Each structure stands twice: as C-alpha cells, then as structure tokens.
Amino acid sequence: MNSSVRNGNSCPKESEENGNNETSETRYPDGTVKLRNPHIELMDQDILYHIALGSESHDLVEMFGDVKFVCMGGTPKRMETFAHYIMKEIGYKLPTGTTLMDISQYSYRYSMYKVGPVISVSHGMGVPSIGILLHEMIKLMYHAKAKDPIFFRIGTCGGLGLEPGTVVISDDVVDGLGNHYYSVPILGKVVKRPAKLEKKLVRELKALATQDDPYDTTTGTTMCAEDFYEGQGRIDGAFCDYTEADKQDYLENLVRQGVKNIEMEAVPFAALTHQAGIKAAIVCVTLLNRLKGDQVAAPKEVMNEYQQRPQILVARYIKKYLQTKGRLCSLDGHGSIAVKSPRRFKLVQQESQTFE
Ligand SMILES: O=P(O)(O)O[C@H]1O[C@H](CO)[C@@H](O)[C@H]1O
Ligand SMILES: O=c1cc[nH]c(=O)[nH]1
C-alpha cells in the first residue's frame, strides 16, 4: 500500500486562515490530491460509475491530469453553457471540426465537459446527488494526479432580503438545524464532518466583483436545506402545517443569524472538499427574495441572465489565475476520452493539450 495513504478516519489538523485541512495530510508535496481511503489503492480498478469513467478503462492522467478547476452546478444545460462560455473567456481552441462532448453522457446521470484546465459538471439537486458526484470527482482528481485543483459550485438559490439577481459568495454554511457540519449516517452511526470554506478564496472572489456590474455581489452564510418546499419554509408545497406568520418568523430569524441565501448542496460541498483538502467556493445567484414570496416566477430569459452572473465571477477568477501563471494563450486542444485497453492506449477523440 502507498505509505502516504492514511487511515480515512484520522482527524486532520485545522489551519485557521483558510479553513482547510493541514495540507501535508491531504496533499502530496507536488500538490496532487491524497485519497484518505486505503482501500482504493488495493483495488484492481476504480469504477467511477456515475460519471462513466474508470481508473483502468480510461487513461485518467492523460485525460484530466491538467485540471485546475472543477466547476459544478445543478443542471446539465447550465454546465454545458458554462463550458462554452469559459472556452471563449480563456481563449481555448477546439481542433477544427470538433465540438465539446459530454464525457459522462453514457452514465445518464451527470453531464461533464472539459475545456483545457476546466471541468464543468452538473451535480443534480440536493445533498445525496452532489455527495455522490463529489466522491467521484475527488477520486477523479486523485487518479488523474491533478495538482491543487479548486472546486466551485455555480448555483441558484433563494435570497433573504436581497434583490433578485444578487450574487452571494458563501463565507459560511449551515444545515437546516443551524449545524456547521455535514451529518452522514455511516455504519449505523452519525459521522459529522466540518463544513468549512476557504476565507481567502471568498475575499479573492469578492474582489473580482466590479462597480460596473449591474447587480450586487455579497458574502454571507448559506443555509443548505434538505428540500425545496417545507425544508425551506415554503408554504406552496404539496403539504404545509404552519402559517405564513410562522414562516416569516423563521426566515427573519435566519436573517438575524447572518443567513443570506438558501439552497440545497452547500453543506456536503463544503464538507467533502474540506475533508479532501481541496480549495472550494460557492457562488449562487438569488432567483427571488424569500421574504417576499415562495414561487419562482421570473421569466425564463431573466432567469437565464441571472444564472450567468455566478459564471461571470468564477470565469474572472479562472482567467486571472491563468493570466498570473502565464497560461492563458497556450491553450489548445480538446477534452478527449482516452480509453485504456489492457495492452495499449487508444485515443477515441483526437487531442492536443499544450496546457502545463
Ligand atoms: O440551481 P442549482 O445549482 O441546482 O441550485 C439550487 O436549485 C435547486 C432547486 O431548485 C437546488 O439544487 C438548489 O441548490
Ligand atoms: O428558493 C430557491 C431557489 C433556488 N434554489 C433553492 O434551493 N431555493
């Protein structure tokens, strides 16, 4: 067994500033992700079932070794749009006659695109769905030997006292009971994993919002609900045993506690990336002000424009990062699928990667 793979239950030391696990616990010296599960090393092959990839069936180092950013959001359409948008923003060129492809299309679960150093992947709705994807994306980063990847969630949410269309960068996350950890029943016991986000990354993202943006960008606590309706205090679900006044009291109490928005994935996203020692941030746009109503009634075009706002902020971060590293102009090629056969590698789709 690889000597640096530790007991998955070992308790990491905490770093005050970035809220991340001590890097020596979670990274190799070259920045690649350590997997805190000793069993994976012993397996003949690791099948990443829900993203339709495998550690032996695919050459994951060849396909994903250059990944720096993993961007995720609820819907396949948003993440396809983001893939095209980021391609334009970072000046990434596809080989003539090729188009972006959904790498995970045959999983029929999630959709995933790769644009140079950026992965854009859908996570579905809610805690279990993003939890499964995070396990597989973290393992993918490990198998691919990707160095210091950063994860972003680009989402939508309900705002509390904010103008619809406001961008919220989460600086803290709580569940529906106000807990700052992800509770997972494992082997019949509840395991609590701290849900923490990198404060420095929050500040860096906030600094990329400009006065010229025709909307506000703010930071605050995000509440992660287990449900869209009763779990978020809505009165328009199929069931409701409380009054409008009860709901209003509840939401106003959340505001007093610093909660700016409500969505459905923040806690596992923060907890599992933290557990893996991966820098991560959550950027969501508010579709409505929950203090004023429950129904998401904005027209489709308005909603589509709102959904671009977190993408714009994250794209600014990615561009700035690549500019700083002097890598913006050297991008060329295509996220291809490299299938490993027992004796030789076969490139299913032609690729020329000059990043890194
Ligand atoms: O738009 P996404 O990213 O899916 O985020 C929000 O929207 C969904 C509910 O409509 C939940 O997944 C919630 O977290
Ligand atoms: O109110 C909302 C809007 C989007 N997503 C949520 O989870 N809640």
Which pLDDT does position 27 carry in this prediction? 81
73 lines ligand 1 (CB under 6 A): yes
Other C-beta atoms lying within 10 Å of the C-beta of residue 193: 17
**Spatial contact of 149 and 273, defined as CB atoms under 8 Å apart:** no
Which pLDDT does position 73 carry in this prediction? 98
For 153, how many CA atoms within 13 A lie in the half-sphere containing its CB?
36
Interhelix angle 76-89/300-324, rounded to 10 degrees, is 40
The residue whose C-alpha atom lies closest to atom 5 belonging to ligand 2 is 157
- Integer Cα distance of 159 and 259 in angstroms: 9
Span from the CA of 313 to the centroid of ligand 1 (angstroms) = 18
The residue ranges of every structural domain in the chain are: 25-354
303 lines ligand 1 (CB under 6 A): no
Residue at token pair 């829900």: 50
All residues at 6 or more sequence positions from 50 whose CB lies less than 8 Å from its CB, including other chains: 104, 107, 109, 110, 132, 133, 136
Ligand lying nearest the CA atom of residue 77: 1
The residue whose C-alpha atom lies closest to atom 1 belonging to ligand 2 is 158
- Integer Cα distance of 347 and 355 in angstroms: 18
Span from the CA of 288 to the centroid of ligand 2 (angstroms) = 8
Ligand lying nearest the CA atom of residue 124: 1
Residue 109 DSSP one-character state: S
Which pLDDT does position 22 carry in this prediction? 57
Task: Give pLDDT tens digits along the chain (356 positions).
Answer: 333 323 333 333 333 333 445 566 788 889 999 898 999 999 999 999 999 999 999 999 999 999 999 999 999 999 999 999 999 999 999 989 999 999 999 999 999 999 999 999 999 999 999 999 999 999 999 999 999 999 999 999 999 999 999 999 999 999 999 999 999 999 999 999 999 999 999 999 999 999 999 999 999 999 999 999 999 999 999 999 999 999 999 999 999 999 999 999 999 999 999 999 999 999 999 999 999 999 999 999 999 999 999 999 999 999 999 999 876 645 544 444 555 543 333 333 333 333 33
Span from the CA of 314 to the centroid of ligand 2 (angstroms) = 20
Other C-beta atoms lying within 10 Å of the C-beta of residue 340: 17
228 lines ligand 1 (CB under 6 A): yes
Counting ligand 1 atoms within 8 A of each CB, the residue from 80, 157, 224 with the most, and so the one to mutate, is 157
Span from the CA of 79 to the centroid of ligand 1 (angstroms) = 13
Which residues contribute to the annotated binding site?
Answer: 109, 153-156, 232, 234
Counting ligand 2 atoms within 8 A of each CB, the residue from 226, 296, 302, 303 with the most, and so the one to mutate, is 296
The ipTM assigned to this model is: 0.99
Which pLDDT does position 337 carry in this prediction? 53
Q: Which amino acid is at 146?
A: A
156 lines ligand 1 (CB under 6 A): yes
Nearest to 331 by CA among 81, 94, 15: 94
Ligand 2 binding pocket, CB closer than 6 Å: 156-158, 228, 232, 262-264, 287, 296
Nearest to 265 by CA among 152, 138, 110: 152
Which pLDDT does position 25 carry in this prediction? 76
The structure's pTM equals 0.88
Q: CATH number for the 25-354 domain, one of 3.50.50.60, 3.40.50.10490, 3.20.20.70, 3.40.50.1580?
A: 3.40.50.1580
